[in-house]
Amino acid sequence: MSNLPPLNTETIWAILNDTIDDPTVNQLVWHCLGYRYDEATGKWDTAGVADQWRDEYPEPPNFIESRPPTVKLTRSIPAENKQLLKEKLGFKGYKVGEFGPRQTRRATAANWLLGYLQDAASTS
């Protein structure tokens, strides 16, 4: 996971515009949640993962293919961050008929990552 793109607004737009593949989107979220893959043991190190994620997902979930972890991700977004894509990036959403569950889940990941990025900037 060392080849991840930097977490910035360009990366968030690339997620929304579908120019970053689904595995990379998942890996970005996993990394921010604290999941680390240990090459030596071939297992996931969850020491840095919050209990509410580690208990339910001892291995990182696929946010793009599976609805339940995406619902959990959505619920973990603070109310004040729910509209960040619109407020910070001017994202107007997808056009009717041009999106499905996959795009919705990518937008959820993008919104969560943007909130993570904003929170990280405000604490540094």
- Largest CA-CA distance found in the chain, in angstroms, rounded: 46
Domains and their CATH numbers in the chain: 9-123 (1.10.418.90)
Structure tokens at 113: 């990552």
φ/ψ of residue 119, rounded to 5: -65, -40
Q: Give the pLDDT of residue 4.
A: 94
Q: Give how far the C-alpha of residue 62 lies from the chain's centroid of Cα atoms, to the nearest Å.
A: 10
Q: Give the pLDDT of residue 122.
A: 72
Percentage with pLDDT > 70 across the chain: 97
Q: Which residue has the tokens 């997620």?
A: 15
Residue 31 above 90 pLDDT?
Answer: yes
The CA distance from 40 to 111, in Å, is 33
**99 pLDDT band (50/70/90 cuts)?**
confident
**DSSP class of 21:** -
Q: What is the pTM of this model?
A: 0.92
Residue 98 above 80 pLDDT?
Answer: no
Q: Give the pLDDT of residue 73.
A: 96
β partners of residue 43: 38
The CA distance from 64 to 105, in Å, is 6
User: Half-sphere exposure of 36 toward its Cβ, with a 13 Å CA cutoff?
Assistant: 10
Q: What is the mean pLDDT of the chain?
A: 92
The CA distance from 119 to 77, in Å, is 11
* Mean of pLDDT values over 79-88: 91
Residue 100 above 60 pLDDT?
Answer: yes
Q: Are 77 and 112 in contact (CB under 8 A)?
A: yes
Q: Are 11 and 50 in contact (CB under 8 A)?
A: no
